[in-house]
Structure 1
């Protein structure tokens, strides 16, 4: 089983689109390449096909709540490739709308995170994941809320300051 970190260039962007259920409807060439899946395998598959087990469920809960309510979100995400390698991204996820203003899907643009940001995110996510194992998503949420309170920041202020 592979467990190597993959990287992409600072000037490159990974782009994907999903329907409202999170099924992939589009992926740019870099998304397809780094994922290790073929375009045919990715299209119509749930985006969580890339979910790495090191990711706290709380982060995806925050992400889904936000975009389903018509708001954007920024998040650091560790993804897993088809062959079990991984890569980190700094994701900007936004809802997509039809002409009548109804949400019809989600658009994610991901760029390479800085090493400085990951030096903060990796231990935080480890703490959130350990809390999740002890007391579920509520324990994880309490850990995040406590850390944010200590910093005097909300989630967006914290993430965008990294």
Structure 2
């Protein structure tokens, strides 16, 4: 079960040379977390390993963004996104995440590796604005239709571009 954490307005940030690295199984359970991930998240290694990666999901992130992420990586595609995470104490931190599938010899996905780095401030502002619109649409639509509503906002903003093209242009 995900711990109950109350978001705060306190922001943490990665250093310019820092990289967060984690590995999850295909169901999103954390198999590995590097020391920077452990330090920034505020959780101990024991609290992270075996837990769902959404332990650090910030409530400002729309569900539809994570649906896009999981659909992409489950299909064997790399996924790049700006993500707002929440530490154990409720503080938040933004990252530019690249998530890639890992394969066994038979080309079956056996895990996912995520590498996150410090995002540019102007990109965070753009992503935060988009996510706010997506989340508002999700909330208006209700739980059953939330993902479709958030995705519709994203599709309109993308205007024919891929999400990756959007992210890389920020």
Shared fold (TM-score, shorter chain, > 0.5): yes
RMSD (Å), alpha carbons = 1.0
- Equivalence for 1:123: 129
- 1:7 matches 2:13: yes
> Which residue, out of 43, 54, 65, partners 2:49?
43
CA distance, structure 2, for counterparts of residue 141 and residue 40 of structure 1: 35
TM-score, scaled relative to structure 1:
0.95
CA distance, structure 2, for counterparts of residue 156 and residue 79 of structure 1: 19
- Equivalence for 2:163: 155
CA distance, structure 1, for counterparts of residue 162 and residue 22 of structure 2: 27
> Which residue, out of 38, 43, 49, partners 1:32?
38
Q: Unaligned regions of 5+ residues in structure 2, if any?
A: 1-5
- Equivalence for 2:3: none
> Which residue, out of 131, 134, 143, partners 2:153?
143
Q: Unaligned regions of 5+ residues in structure 1, if any?
A: none
Deviation at 1:3, TM superposition (A): 3.2
Moved over 6 A (4+): none
- Equivalence for 1:68: 74
Give the secondary-structure state (helix, strand or coil) at the position aligned to 1:32: helix
CA distance, structure 2, for counterparts of residue 81 and residue 113 of structure 1: 17
CA distance, structure 1, for counterparts of residue 31 and residue 15 of structure 2: 24
Give the secondary-structure state (helix, strand or coil) at the position aligned to 1:122: helix
- Equivalence for 2:64: 58
Deviation at 1:83, TM superposition (A): 0.8
Deviation at 1:22, TM superposition (A): 0.2
Deviation at 1:138, TM superposition (A): 1.2
Count of paired positions: 160
Give the secondary-structure state (helix, strand or coil) at the position aligned to 1:99: coil
CA distance, structure 1, for counterparts of residue 75 and residue 90 of structure 2: 32
